[in-house]
Amino acid sequence: MYDRKLHNGYFQSLSEFGIVGTLLFLWVVVDFWKRNAALRTPRYRAAWEAATGGRYDLRWLALGLEAGMVGFCASAVFYNQLFEPWLYFLLTANALLYSRLKVALHSPVVLAASGVGRV
């Protein structure tokens, strides 16, 4: 497919990466949804408030990331956008938020705020 593009991101990934590459790409997208769902849980919100002082609401940030991914998935049906930078920004922002808050979950301040360990 030299110098040609399909008008569908999913078929483009299938033609360029094959079945294995497309499955890996779909795994990355599914992992995005799982991490984003975890960001909306009370434990992660408590870790976010402890880390930032509650300046921004993590639910709105997660909703914004999710809306961006819904936009990508919908537009990928009509346009090839596999190599556009905003997709990778969404994936990176989601992964950084999740990994940073996962580390912060083990701090004593977050454990006390979320009620973990109380009888």
Q: For residue range 3-25, what is the model confidence (pLDDT) as tens digits?
A: 666 788 888 888 889 999 999 99
**Identity of the amino acid at 38:** A
What's the rounded Cα separation, in Å, for the pair 47 and 53?
Answer: 10
- What's the predicted TM-score (pTM) here? 0.79
Highest mean pLDDT, choosing among 51-55, 63-67, 81-85, 100-104: 63-67
At residue 84, the 3 state secondary structure works out as: coil
| Sequence-ordered list of residues with C-beta below 8 angstroms from that of 25, at least 6 positions apart, any chain | 13, 17, 82
Instruction: Tell me the two tokens of residue 77.
Output: 């049906």
Q: Which residues of 62-84 are buried (b: 16+ CB within 10 A; e: fewer)?
A: beebbebbeebeeebeebbebee
Q: For residue range 31-79, what is the model confidence (pLDDT) as tens digits?
A: 999 999 999 999 999 889 888 887 889 999 999 999 999 999 999 899 8
Q: What is the pLDDT of residue 31?
A: 96
